[in-house]
């Protein structure tokens, strides 16, 4: 799956430190660095904001807005 800056996601499923499914406001942000343009899911809810590397996601559901 190819991701792009500003893309909206419906859900991101991943294992590891966080074993819950996230279905808040999820937007793809592209990071520059050692690996150019690495896609991350920026997850925002009322009381938190976290980033998940999409290379580590088990499954991603696209939003109908995309």
Residues 55-63 have a mean pLDDT of: 85
Fill in the DSSP letter of residue 56. Answer: G
- pTM of the full structure: 0.74
**Structure confidence at residue 16 as a pLDDT band (50, 70, 90):** low
Fill in the DSSP letter of residue 3. Answer: -
Q: How far apart are CA 22 and CA 60, in angstroms?
A: 10
pLDDT, one tens digit per residue, over 48-58 is 788 888 888 88
Q: How far apart are CA 8 and CA 42, in angstroms?
A: 10
Average pLDDT score over the chain = 79
Residue 32: exposed, middle, or buried by beta-carbon count in 10 A (0-12, 13-18, 19+)? exposed
Q: How far apart are CA 46 and CA 42, in angstroms?
A: 13
């Amino acid at each position: 799956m190819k991701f792009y800056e500003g893309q909206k996601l419906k859900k991101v499923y991943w294992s590891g430190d966080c074993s819950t499914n996230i279905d808040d406001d999820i937007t793809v942000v592209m990071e520059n660095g050692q690996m150019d343009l690495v896609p991350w899911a920026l997850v925002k809810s009322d009381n938190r904001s976290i980033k998940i590397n999409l290379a580590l996601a088990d499954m991603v559901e696209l939003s109908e807005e995309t």
